[in-house]
Chains A and B, each alone.
Chain A
Amino acid sequence: MSNVLLKVEHLKQYFKLDRKSKVKAVDDVSFDIYEGETFGLVGESGSGKTTIGRSIIRLYDITGGNVTFEGKQASGKLKKEERASIARNMQMIFQDPMACLNPRMNIRDIVAEGIDIHKLAKTKEERDEMVYAILAKVGLAREHAGRYPHEFSGGQRQRIGIARALITNPKLVICDEPISALDVSIQSQVVNLLKKLQKELGLTYLFIAHDLSMVRYISDRIAVMHKGKIVELADAEELYNNPLHPYTRSLMSAIPTPDPKSEKQRARFAYDPSQHDYTTDEPKMREIRPKHFIYCNEKEFQAYQTEIA
């Protein structure tokens, strides 16, 4: 088994709504991401999946818990050099190809931002060469460098966003719904590119999405989120073939597949959170099979075990 690159322990992220109330966007979530893998995080809107990504990359000050990156503390108060090191090694790709590029900057300056911040190039020529090299990697020509974001299509802009994230040679890339705003025919281009880059550069991905079929294709392991908690975590195929948590099942039954005949007889399960009785018996993540975790209490755990036996 390869090394743990990112360790998230009991991560909590609460947002104040007003003086009295707060939203528990992420509520006591723990998981590890191994070097070189793609870790998929699936959930519906409001499940806290985007918040997790942003908390890990320090866009938010976390409310509680601990994040460790490459064995070093990566959350809470850090020294300037430590923050810079995390900024170089952990990067993010965003959802909206329209909003993720500064409309007033040309592509060269957008992509070179990481170089400028971390002073990675000594001369202007070196900076340009680095930009051209990464543009070539994502399938854009050096002629594109002088142009502005509005001149590009959605798919091209997403590639520019990828180039910007990769310029500092990061180890972990958080992909926050990178394809959900793109057209079908463009989605697969971007996914193939991400796959290719992972192979070439040895990247580790945290892939956040609501599209289960794409997550299954791209991920090695998948965590399913519901209302700020991970309810099930397993290898991609295991999760697809043996989903156990009722929410996962309901989610999987809802994905439409491009097969009219089976689509027309498909039964859907609705998820009713009130089916859990957690008043006396506290739920927690339990390993029901090797590497297959499920959020449940002792009684439910027994029931799941008889089910898979």
Chain B
Amino acid sequence: MTNHDKNLNQAFDVENLPKDLFTFEKATDDAEGLTTKPISFWQDSMRRLFKNYVAVVSLLIIVVLFLTAIIAPMLSNYTLTGRVNQDYYKFAQLPPRVPVLEHFGLFDGTLIKEFTQGSLDEVGYASDEYKIVGTFTRNRIEYLKVKEYTYKYLDIEDRYFIFGTDILSRDIWTRVWYGTSISLLIGVYAAIIDVLIGVIYGGIAGYFGGTKIDDVMMRILEVLYGIPSIVILFVLFMFLTPGIVPIAIAIALTGWIGVARMIRAQFLKLRDQEFVLAARTLGASDTRIIMKHLIPNVVAQIIVMASFSIPSAIFYEAFLAFIGIGLDLSKPSLGVLINDAISSTQGAMTYVYQLVLPSLVLSTLMLSINLLGNGLRDALDPRMRNN
């Protein structure tokens, strides 16, 4: 039943309504009264953002990843480059082992290795140090799939390496989280530089839209846009020494163009809005108009742009590291770790954890930031307002 029906169904007899109802009475409600509390655009947007549970979960994941990236390397007993033990042959390529979880068969410090019957005998496992989990035939030779209880075999059952160790017997847990913070830093730096250059360049072009200044600036931008970014990067790295900031700058140099275009378009649109004209008739200076009227109206778009810019920078850096540009081995990002893992394990399935773990962190990070970016866009987009 609709509200309206309810209203109509209040039984009353039109003919015989009591006479006293027909006396004049002023409306008591203030017709112009505002009943709700005042809410600013930002409060309203945040309220909408927190209603979007995908965005909230993403935000939580990002916070957890971020905190772990800072805290984990600090609490770790191992360093980024130091070997976990003097006996580095023994401590190289150890599988992940986590207390508690190991009892459930996860991260239990085992490796799946392949042997022929002969080579298995040569290793000389004690009976509780291995388990045959399967057989297969390759090139007419029969192989055994063997689950090796590595920690037990090496007699280091008191040690736990959460993500295992790499070929140089370095602690992967420490390296992954350190790498995460490096990747995040590169992403954030790149996004800040992106937005900074983009807003200034696009802002100037947009504010002076239609004039010579705008014309020249837009032509330059079109030329830059025409050059493939990878070429720019190759040239840049001929001059730059690898490092977080140089990489961030390099990535930002190819990424700011989109921001500049967006800001220019927004400024052009806003510049002719009546509230900007009103400020000009009141005698507001250019600086005041830009800072008080234009920028605050594009902050939402800037945030959204930045939130998409961070994961793309992270990914771009990983891609560059992967193809071997801009590597800085003293400050390995997640991309460097993945590249490392591929070259050192030669793609062997036995040590695939070295590749999977940093990739998993990288993917989770990018996915969450992207989803949060989507949420921010929905929350901040003025077209969604009043719906």
- Chain A interface residues (CB < 8 Å from chain B): 54, 57-59, 83-84, 86-88, 90-92, 94-96, 99-106, 110, 113-114, 117-118, 143-144, 146-148, 150-151, 153, 156, 161, 164-165, 168
Contact = CB atoms under 8 A, between A and B. Distances in A.
A99 B282 contact: no
Contact of B281 (A92, A105, A156): A92
Given A99-B273, A102-B297, A151-B38, A117 B283 contact: yes
Contacts of B299: 104
Given A94-B278, A102-B293, A87 B283 contact: yes
Contacts, number: 85
Contact of B38 (A59, A105, A146, A165): A146
B277 A59 contact: yes
B41 A103 contact: yes
Contacts of B284: 113, 117
Contacts of B282: 87, 91, 113-114, 117, 164, 168
Contact of A102 (B34, B38, B296): B296
Given A87-B281, A91-B282, A102 B288 contact: no
B13 interface: no
B298 to A, nearest CB: 10
B207 to A, nearest CB: 15
Contacts of B277: 54, 59, 92, 94
Contact of B278 (A58, A90, A150, A161): A161
27 contacts: A54-B277, A86-B283, A91-B282, A94-B274, A94-B277, A95-B274, A99-B273, A99-B275, A100-B275, A102-B275, A102-B279, A102-B293, A102-B296, A102-B297, A103-B382, A104-B296, A104-B299, A105-B296, A110-B275, A113-B278, A114-B283, A117-B285, A118-B283, A151-B36, A151-B38, A153-B32, A165-B278
Nearest to B385: A150
Interface of B: 32, 34, 36, 38-41, 273-275, 277-285, 288, 292-293, 296-297, 299, 382, 385-386
A92 B278 contact: yes
Given A91-B282, A103-B297, A150 B386 contact: yes
A156 B32 CA distance: 9
A101 B38 contact: no
Contacts of A106: 38, 40
A96 B279 contact: no
A99 B32 CA distance: 21
Contacts of A86: 283
A54 B284 CA distance: 16
Which 3 pairs across A and B sit closest by C-beta, in order of nearness? A87-B283, A100-B274, A94-B274
A100 B34 CA distance: 21
Contacts of B285: 117
